[in-house]
Amino acid sequence: MEQLTALGTGYAVATRCYTTCFTISDGNEHFMIDTGGGSGVLTNLEKLGISVAQVHHIFLSHRHTDHILGAVWMLRMIGHSMEKGQYQGQLHLYCHQSIAEGLVEMCRFMLPDRLLKLFGTQILFHCLSDGLTFEILGRKTTFFDTRSKKTLQYGVSIQLKKGKQFTYLGDEPYRPDCADYAAQVDYLMHEAMCLESQEEQYHPHRIQHSTVKDTAQCAAQLQVGSLILHHTEDKNLAQRKAAYTAEAQQYFTGTVYVPDDLETIML
């Protein structure tokens, strides 16, 4: 059975939890989806007892700081593991060509030459186009353009074992162009910045984000089985799970998950 482990559940400027990063795992192998905004990815991997040597696939949805900067740290640590002979096989990164180019440029600036030599041989980029499918951890995995209104962004839809479907829409609201990937899926992972009552405080709609109510109504219309909320404000983390779940359940009758950092959901 697969599991989703949240490494970072906060919105872009969260300081009380880590930013967007999670894994879909099968046993000891972990497909990392977004890497958060810094070395917190390493902190949380360590807390979870996951070695970087257990991560051979990483997807980067878009080029914003809170999703991509952790990748520099992952590349640094995986590169070191490769040099020491502690990392078996190759690392595969999945992202749009523009992100690959930007990330390589950052690595050229920040990482030693000996690690850069691993690019193209042991560290491989797979440049995405809309609808491109790979087999990752033995599961059919399709990447798609989420039609973001801010910057080019990709989502991912994974066919889980037992025929279930999991879809991640990145950090912007669902757009109807993505219906093929989001409608009636078993698990939809969708951003929700704050409660409806906090709209005036955070103004999610001004920056292409959603309230919990918006997201729950969307999930109901899409008739998904379960809704997983992430990319939230971080001012009331102790109450977040209860408050967000309660609001979502007013509009959506399926299962609602509001994971905390380091929490695992069995899919």
Shortest distance in whole angstroms from residue 186 CB to Zn ion: 24
Residue, CB closest to Zn ion: 171
- Is-contact 103 92, C-beta < 8 A? no
Q: How far is CA 41 from CA 240, 256, 262, in A?
A: 21, 25, 11
Query: Binders of Zn ion: how many residues, by CB under 5 A?
Result: 3
Q: Is 152 in the site for Zn ion (CB under 5 A)?
A: no
Backbone angles phi, psi at 43, to 5 degrees: -60, -50
State which residue, 36 or 79, has the beta carbon closest to Zn ion.
36
Q: Please report how close the Cβ of residue 22 comes to Zn ion at its closest, in angstroms.
A: 13
Give CA–CA dist 248/234, Å, rounded: 18
The span from the CA of 52 to the CA of 30, in Å, is 9
CB under 5 A: which stretch of 30-38, 139-147, 168-176, 213-221 binds Zn ion?
168-176
Nearer to Zn ion, 32 or 82 (CB): 32
Query: Minimum distance between the CB of residue 232 and Zn ion, rounded to whole angstroms?
Result: 11
The residues, ordered by sequence, that sit 6+ positions from 5 with a Cβ below 8 Å of its Cβ are: 22, 23, 25, 30, 48, 50, 262, 263, 264, 265
- The yes or no reply on residue 12 touching Zn ion (CB under 5 A) is yes
* CA distance linking residue 115 with residue 176, whole number of Å: 42
Tokens of 22: 């999670």
Return the range that interacts with Zn ion (CB under 5 A); candidates 83-91, 111-119, 128-136, 171-179: 171-179
Beta bridge partners of 140: 135
Which residue in 66, 172, 233, 247 binds Zn ion (CB under 5 A)? 66
Nearer to Zn ion, 2 or 66 (CB): 66
In eight-state DSSP terms, residue 192 is -
The one segment of 5-13, 41-49, 139-147, 204-212 that binds Zn ion by CB under 5 A: 5-13
Nearer to Zn ion, 21 or 158 (CB): 21
Cα dist from 163 to 36, 110, 143, 158, 178, whole Å: 29, 42, 18, 10, 20
Largest CA distance in the chain: 55
Q: Does 171 bind Zn ion (CB under 5 A)?
A: yes
CB of 21 or CB of 195, closer to Zn ion: 21
Q: Which is nearer to Zn ion, 82 or 95 (CB)?
A: 95
Only one of the segments 59-67, 95-103, 192-200, 253-261 lies at the binding site for Zn ion (rule: CB under 5 A); that segment is 59-67
Question: Rounded to the nearest whole angstrom, what is the least distance from the CB of residue 154 to Zn ion in the complex?
Answer: 13
CB of 48 to Zn ion, least distance (A): 21
Residues contributing to the site for Zn ion (CB under 5 A): 12, 66, 171
